[in-house]
Structure 1
Amino acid sequence: MTTEFVDGVTAQSDALGFEPAVVYVPHPIQNRTRAEIDEIADRAFAQVMVLLKSE
């Protein structure tokens, strides 16, 4: 999820009484180069793995 949607995730989580596993990445995504996307993914990978192992 991009950082643009932090408030939306929080509001929806509170409304549903559910705490999702979320990794936030910089916003926006759609205008990034392939190299920028790769860098963002590389930085987020460790966080994703932690969330997957904790479930």
Structure 2
Amino acid sequence: MPTRPRPRRPLRRARIAVNAAIRRLMEDPPSPDRTAQWQRLLVEWRELHDDDVTPAA
């Protein structure tokens, strides 16, 4: 199985920052603002992880 190159440091730092923001956000009480932030962070998380997707056979 081929190995994937390790992510560049700036990309890794960005992923860590988004994950930390998501964890902090989940500690807040539910609100429309939290929902909007959650949606924005999910889009950002997906964009940062797009290169990790392997198409199915």
TM-score, shorter chain, exceeding 0.5: no
TM-score between both structures, scaled by the size of structure 2: 0.38
Select the structure of larger CA radius of gyration.
2
TM-score between both structures, scaled by the size of structure 1: 0.39
